Amino acid sequence: EEDKWGAIWENGSGNGLLGAVAMDDADAGYAAVYHWYPEYHFVEYTRPYVRAGLTCMAPRPRPQPGWQRSVDMLDNRDFVLVCYIITRCLLHVVPMNRVIGWIESSLDACMVLDTRLLTQRRCLLSSPDSVVLWGHRLQYLHLHVGLYHIKYYSHLVTIWSSLGVTLSALFGGRLRNLLCLRRYEPPIDSVVDLRDSGLEWAETHIAFLNSLRGRTEQVYLDLVKQYRVLSVDVLKSRTTTRDLAFIIERLPGGYFTIGDYIDEEAASRYLRPMREDIYWEYVVLAVQKGWPYAQQLDELIDKLFEAGIMHAWEGQV
């Protein structure tokens, strides 16, 4: 019980379940044993009787704070657009004021000029409606009065007003979405999410890393560094601290095998299973090399599969 799965050393001796089978102290070993290649030199494996995907119970995403939700309404591209519009508008305020001053000095020659235009000197810093109104009046001056210097600025005001209206609609739509739907922290659903979160993931034995031996992908190399072997008491004490992910097995029928240290409260309030498996394996029994009853055991497993008993047991347990 202390060594659990145990290990088999190069001289054929070992400890735990695998060591007992390799040294002929036990005929067969029944546990979460997978097709581990190095151990195959000393033990044999039976027919697989279930497919198990190894994944984790990770901390549930927490609701985002109010200030962060307000910032998340606009992504980086939106912020760049806002800064660009404000900068360009500021760059055109000074020349625009000069043009309006020139228009004011020409009032005697242009009696048809609408005097209300003079109240729009600061329209770029006003509401979008004022910007649109000013754009129409500049177009009027260009077409009817003949002030051709107004052409550039009338088009400019029209473009910036369109961008302002679009940005206002974008911000308003996301604000309504934010007020209707609650926002949460990014969940941990995949292997990459678990690696990027920096969370440690743990169990009571190193055997859960056996299936990752020989993997060269960087994401798995990083996960191996984040793995920890902890006692049951430590695992139980950290089920609600949100700083650890706990190994579980996903079964074919949609059920999970969960350690006894994860109680109902922790599973329902603090933890949630990942959507993606870290890896998957077929579960087998380890038996002695040349064991005379290996064929009969394989036939028994086949009969259990044919009768559907394996799937029935999965739902009952």
What mean pLDDT value characterizes the chain? 79
More confident call, 73 vs 271: 271
pTM higher than 0.85, yes or no? no
Q: Quick one: residue 27, left, alpha or beta (phi over 0 = left, psi -120 to 50 = alpha)?
A: alpha
pLDDT: which is higher, 174 or 256: 256
Residue-wise pLDDT tens digits, 3-19 = 789 889 989 899 999 99
Q: How confident is the model at residue 126 (pLDDT cuts 50, 70, 90)?
A: very low
Domain ranges of the chain: 7-62+186-316, 66-180
d(CA 66, CA 289): 63
User: Does position 131 have pLDDT exceeding 60, yes or no?
Assistant: no
Element (H, E) at 121: none
pLDDT in the model for residue 77:
72
- pLDDT score at 261: 92
Binning pLDDT at 50, 70 and 90, where does residue 62 land?
confident
pLDDT(296) > 80: yes
Dihedral sign, CA of 120, 123, 129, 133?
Answer: positive
Q: What is the pLDDT of residue 132?
A: 47
Using 50, 70 and 90 to split pLDDT, how confident is the model at 111? very low
Segment 187-215 mean pLDDT: 93
**How would residue 254 be classed by pLDDT, with cut points 50, 70 and 90?**
confident
| Continuous segment of H or E residues that includes residue 314 | helix 309-316
Q: How far, rounded to the nearest angstrom, does the alpha carbon of residue 66 sit from its chain's CA centroid?
A: 20
- Residue 250 pLDDT more than 70? yes
Taking CA atoms, 125 is separated from 119, 122, 258, in Å, by 13, 6, 60
Across 96-121, average pLDDT: 52
The average pLDDT across 231-258 equals 92
Instruction: Among 1-15, 29-43, 119-133, name the one with the lowest average pLDDT.
Output: 119-133
User: What value, to the nearest 5°, has the Cα angle with vertex 164 and ends 170 and 100?
Assistant: 175
pLDDT at 241: 92
pLDDT classification of 115: cutoffs 50, 70, 90: very low
Instruction: State the pLDDT confidence band at 100, using cuts at 50, 70 and 90.
Output: low
Structure token digits, residue 128 = 């979008």
Q: How many CB atoms lie within 10 A of CB 253?
A: 12
The pLDDT score that the predictor gives to residue 112 is 46
| Owner of token pair 């992908």 | 217
Distance between CA atoms of 11 and 13, rounded to whole angstroms?
6
Rounded (5°) CA angle 207-209-213:
120
Strand partners, 215: none
Quick one: pLDDT band at residue 102, thresholds 50, 70, 90? low
| pLDDT, position 253 | 85
**The amino acid at 317:** V
